[in-house]
Structure 1
Amino acid sequence: MARYLITTWDGAGNLVPTLGIARALVDRGHDVRILGHETITRRCADVGARFVTLTQSEGWDAMDTPDDFEAEVKLMIEELCFSSAIARDLAQELDREPADVVIVDCLLFTAIDVALASGTPTATLFHTAYSIFRGGPLVEMFTPGIAIANAARAELGLPAIESLAEIHDACARALVAVPEEFEPDVADAANVVRVGPVLDAPALSREIDEVDVGDGAKPLVLVALSTSEQGQADLLQRCVDAVARMPVRAIVTTGAAIDPATVRAGVDTQVVRYAPHADILPSASLVITHAGLGTTMAALGRGVPLLCTPMGRDQFFNAEQVRTLGAGLMLMPDASSEVIAQTAAQILGERSFASSAEQLAVSISEYGGAAKAVAVLEALGQDR
């Protein structure tokens, strides 16, 4: 038995691979601690790990992030990615109880540095596309964090960096929960292990609604926008209005950010707050989504094409990859319900979209997901 300490945060989608890997480690008989926001334990299913609450938990709410993009970036830089509080909590937890391996979310740069400085074998977990951290808008967005990171690194006795990628590259392993096929043009660093999507993750809610997938007489469409608040209420309603125009059944999951009672739905549409997508996707013919990576990978991992309506963050990248791979189409988030319905009908009507998604599902199945991640982490623990 090895001791694993996972440092994460409540960002909704990032918890899919994190909790899935944590549960797989527990199932293997390991001692697993999760250091994270208290809202994770309040909302998500128990995975059998010991939970340690971040001191930053008070006042943090992933369901209530700023609508303004610049304000959201500022919050991410100051309160998350380069948080001295999260870094301090990790250092104190390692002092209180050492670990054989530390796993840190890829966005928690100062926490990764604490783990590296401790001398404990460290893995970082990418719950979003690896390539967006190697160049492009996200790298530019986080540039102010380099100075913050270097100030913290100096106190830890670590050398200064010129790019944030150097922090990821210094980890013993970088676990990427994204298949290579989804980002073929990136050169992986030597420490990267592509474990692929974690498709058997535990529920992200303790309250699960019952859904009726129907008898297959009509195509089933899953409508699922962001779990967290991104100002998606109007877009969600237009998506629901779109499926009402079509000869389909639909299941809509609103997540914590939207009350299902506020959504006006057609007679063949069921609106719930939360139901595991794994229970719906085997019967689904199409997913209409904001293209968060969790929903995107869940759909592709089960061979279901997507209609993507990205709103921000990494979603435009994900949506463009879906389109490039032929597994779906993309619309801007201001698309009318008529256009959404027409595009959804196109995807349902052209077999090529489902065929491409099914081919990707075959490729994804070969990565291993949580089981592959556990094998890598166990080997890392044995090397200590």
Structure 2
Amino acid sequence: MTLRRKVFQLLVALSATFLVGTVSCPVIAASKRDSNVVAGKTTHAQVGQHVDAKAAVTIDAKTGRVLYNQNGRQKMPIASVVKILTLAVIEQDIASGHLSWNQRVKISKPVAKIANDWHYSNVELDAGHRYTIRELAESMMIVSADGSAAALALADAGSTANFNRKMQAVARKAGVKDAKIYNMIGLDNGALGKLKLKGVRNSAENQFSALDVAKISRYLVRHYPQSLTITKGNHVNFRANDHQQYDLVNINMMLSGNPLAPVGWEVDGLKTGTTDKAGNCFAGTEKDGKRRYITVVLNVPGNYNAQFMETIKMLQDVSGKKITTQQEANQQTANNNDSQPQ
């Protein structure tokens, strides 16, 4: 493993432990007024009611009702969030018997080249080595492994173009008809090397609206709820080859056990994504009692944790409840202990 990748993995692991700040976040300037839909009523959002993101959406997972809509129909890059759709295709083809979770996939040289590029989000995949569909799906969703997404697509459909057609078909089933779909990973077309689409510019990148992402996320959760057993895992052991294995730490900081986990809520997915064009993006699913929400924030400014804090802000607006993070609860407990007479 290269030094750079060791540093990257260390930073990911540390980010789950060393978080600063609270859920209060900067808001969009007053001049940026949007038509928001909150609890089914269209209003003009005022300062302090915006989510600090280019787009933000919350829907009810059961009914599909839009509960919050901030610029939700604008198409924009979504980076690795597209892997939710990739997983939906894999789940569909496992259900049909075309694939199986224990099926072993041999890694080609073009896939290994993507998987071992330190510029991308990855776990190492050795050319010629075989990994199960489940191992590839877990690494794709838990640490956003780009090489694993490529390996899954080729095992399923034989080429990026063929898998794209499957992605488009599943997107239509979810109610999404006009998203721009170029690949299963979320990188620009040129980054796929020999796996890229022919006749498409290298800079082409998947583009979906926040509502598109919410619909696809809802489709996955409703049709393949077992996928949540992957996305809610805090970590998973990954066998890189016959001599190495890694403990992969989930990069969703709202999961139970993390400082940004909302106390009293159950968070069990779904996917983060980041590129220069897309910024920080996050599609989540959160349960408050029996009610499940699907949340999406796209292009969130600030540091990595801002996408989760903005999601919590949106959930507060929609649910009408103050949400305390585990970090805040721990701090309050510490303060109470300090105030006790000795």
TM-score by length of 2: 0.33
TM-score by length of 1: 0.30
In terms of fraction of residues, the more strand-rich structure is: 2
Which protein, 1 or 2, shows the higher relative CO under an 8 Å CA cutoff with sep ≥ 6? Answer: 2
In terms of fraction of residues, the more helix-rich structure is: 1
